[in-house]
Structure 1
Amino acid sequence: MSDTRQRRIDNLTDAARRKSQAKVKAAEAAIRRLIKRGDQVTFQAVQREAGVSQNFLYKNPDLRARIEHQRQTQRPTPRPVPAAVNTENNIVTALTAEVTRLKKQHRQEVTELRKALEQAHGENLALRRELQRRGGSDD
């Protein structure tokens, strides 16, 4: 291999490494901002805040573990109900708002799980193809 070609390969490798490091820093900063604001830390929220793909977040073991940890420990704080809530109308309004919030949270979590499942299916397919390419059986 020529020196010029090796230098180009090294430059591209370094550029890819720097780009990945920048994405990691952006995601870490996004997680800190979300926590500071009291927002839920989810893959989708970090992706939007940091401008990185969810695929990148799922594939990076450190970021994935940190986000999953935050999701587990960062339970939504129950909204205080005003003491004057003693009419049926106010109770119904408060419960309707809570149901709406929970539905939104559920949809968000289902979307994240679907994306993770798609990622897993893609990795499974790639592994099956690699296995077939190497001459293994795919039962």
Structure 2
Amino acid sequence: MTDARTKRTQTLAAAAKAKSQAKTKAAEQAIRALIKRGEPITFQAVQREANVSHAFLYKHPDLRGRIEHLRAQARPIPAPATPGDERRTLVLALTSQITCLKKQHREEVQALRDALEQAHGENLDLRRELARRGGAAATPQ
């Protein structure tokens, strides 16, 4: 019985290895085809061309490294920005950051107000309970 199980396991392992090799070959062919057509080399493009998953490409270090290298080669080097562009970009970035900080501040202030309101309510409830039980020092306000 264990011989049959071992044989099945070996057969499944061989099939998985053959499938992985076929996918690797398809991905390599896809990369060559994309290069030949002059298309950008990206994980998504290789995935579509080879009909493999992103996970497969990312899990194989050789394929991943090759795609990342080819993708980096194809990226154009951005032209240096003019000082006016840099200032506008900086202003936009800082304005966006200020907007986010203001929103965060409003949310935090509202959360603190809600907590304070709840604490005042609990305080009032406790004073009333103390007065109900006959506490001389506590008077409801």
**Separation in 2 of the partners of 1:71 and 1:47?**
14
The Cα of 1:76 is off from its aligned counterpart by 5.2
5+ long unaligned stretches in structure 1: 78-139
Larger radius of gyration: 2
The alignment status of 1:28 with 2:15, answered yes or no, reads: no
SS of residue matched to 1:48 = helix
Q: Are 2:3 and 1:6 equivalent residues in the alignment? A: no
Match of 1:51 in 2: 51
Which residues in structure 2 correspond to 1:42-81 (within 5 Å)? Answer: 42-75=42-75
CA offset at residue 73 of structure 1?
1.0
User: 1:18 aligns to what?
Assistant: 18
Separation of aligned partners in 2, 1:9 and 1:76: 49
Distance apart, 1:55 and its partner CA: 0.7
CA RMSD of aligned residues (A): 1.5
Code of the aligned partner of 1:8: R
1:45 CA drift (Å)? 0.2
In structure 2, give the amino acid aligned to 1:56: F
Which residue in 1 is equivalent to 2:37?
37
Q: TM-score, normalised by structure 1?
A: 0.53
> What SS does structure 2 have at the residue aligned with 1:41?
coil
Q: Counterparts of 1:2 and 1:45 in 2: how far apart (Å)?
A: 45
- Alpha-carbon spacing, 1:37–1:76, altered in 2? closer, same or farther (3 Å): farther
How many angstroms apart in 2 are the aligned matches of 1:31 and 1:3?
A: 42
Change in Cα spacing, 1:76 to 1:38, as seen in structure 2 (3 Å) is farther
Identical aligned pairs, as a percentage? Answer: 65
**Residue 48 and residue 76 in structure 1: after superposition, are their counterparts in 2 closer, same or farther (change >3 A)?**
farther
| Structure 1 pair 50–41 and aligned structure 2 pair: CA distance change class (3 A) | same
For the residues of structure 2 that align with 1:32 and 1:72, how far apart are their CA atoms? 16
Q: Deviations over 1:101-121 (max 9, x none)?
A: xxxxxxxxxxxxxxxxxxxxx
Contact 1:40 1:76 (C-alpha < 8 Å) held by counterparts? no
The whole-number CA distance in structure 1 between the counterparts of 2:8 and 2:27 is: 29
